[in-house]
Amino acid sequence: MVFAAIPSPSRGVVHLGPVPLRAYALMIIIGIVVAVVVTGRRLRARGMDPALAGEIAYWAVPFGIVGARIYHVLSTPDAYFGEHGHVADVVKIWNGGLGIWGAIAGGALGAWLAARRLGISLALFADAAAPGIILAQAIGRWGNWFNQELYGKPTTLPWAVRIDPAHRADPGVATYQPTFLYEFLWNLVVAAILLLVDRRHRLGRGRLFALYVALYTFGRLWIEMLRIDTADEILGLRVNIWTSAIVCVGAVVALLVVRRPVDPDVSPQEQRALGLVQDRTRRQPTDAAGETAGETRTATRHDDATDGVDVNGADVDGADPSNVNGANVNGADPVNVNVNDADGAGAGAGEQPVAGAENGAAAVSSGRTRVERPPAT
């Protein structure tokens, strides 16, 4: 006997005034909006234009929907091309039937095309978008609840979902495992992990996206094993289980193989966004004679936003290296800059090299900092 259960909606259509809207489609729309907003905020934190999220979504979303539908149709062909199937139902996406693997593949293709047109790094964008994508998936899963579909095995657990007679896999069983709820909660956990890892360890170069794929597919493996809807099988296992396992292994390999060194082909702006060149320069205390007591050290920061570093009033992480007295060293190709050195004669015997200056060398002495271009060869 079941004492408690999650009720299913009596209908899968939401009326916005006189306009009917399928709840399944509404969940997808809400998920897309959330993904774009979250990605835009993360791009802004990386010093990039947040509008890029919408521009890439303009390409990725249509490609993702088409890819999701193609994957669903190919993985369940009997429903459309079998003896009792209807070919015309292939285009009826409002009745449900979108495969997440096709959505990821199609969306990635659309994002790649958009990134090429916009001239930005796809790996950089993918890392920024990963938490938003998994949140969109979490919201989209509620569409299965409205459609009373893709539930799991029969159960009497108090959080079981009650299915109407017209949608039951077994006419004599009313309650089933709420796989939509399990995946919703799992996706929230994955989103939290991604945000935490990205805050503490800026992985960069697409590795955060690989972590997202690995975590999602790991959870999808055990959730898929609970489902009882009709699906094609290979060696006794559902196709989606095989797909999840293969993609999970591939994502883990990518996460382990891809390294973090600074790529010379990546622009300084993208390097700062990836957390690869956010250096904080600080000097050791000086002795009584004014000589530097120890070498200058560089500590790498991995904050969400780039921080400037003040050396004798000079902002190190800026964009304009030509500004004397307040000049910054990490923006572009530096010119000869003497800070607090009125005669331009350079530093004294206590000079120490400053790490992190791009294409130039810096010397630090008591009360002065100098940046100069290395001699031409």
Binding site residue list: 141
Give the burial class of 158: count Cβ atoms within 10 A of its Cβ; 0-12 exposed, 13-18 middle, 19 or more buried: exposed
- Alpha carbon distance 353, 362 (integer Å): 6
Which string of DSSP letters, residue by residue, matches 27-48? HHHHHHHHHHHHHHHHHHHTTS
- How far is the C-alpha of 191 from the C-alpha of 208, rounded, in Å? 11
Query: Is 336:323 a contact under the CB 8 Å cutoff?
Result: no
Q: CB burial class (10 A; 0-12, 13-18, 19+) of residue 259?
A: exposed
Measured CA to CA, the distance from residue 112 to residue 122 in angstroms comes to 6
d(CA 157, CA 253): 37
The residue whose two tokens read 């989606």 is: 240
Alpha helix (H) residue ranges in 4-121: 23-45, 51-75, 78-81, 100-118
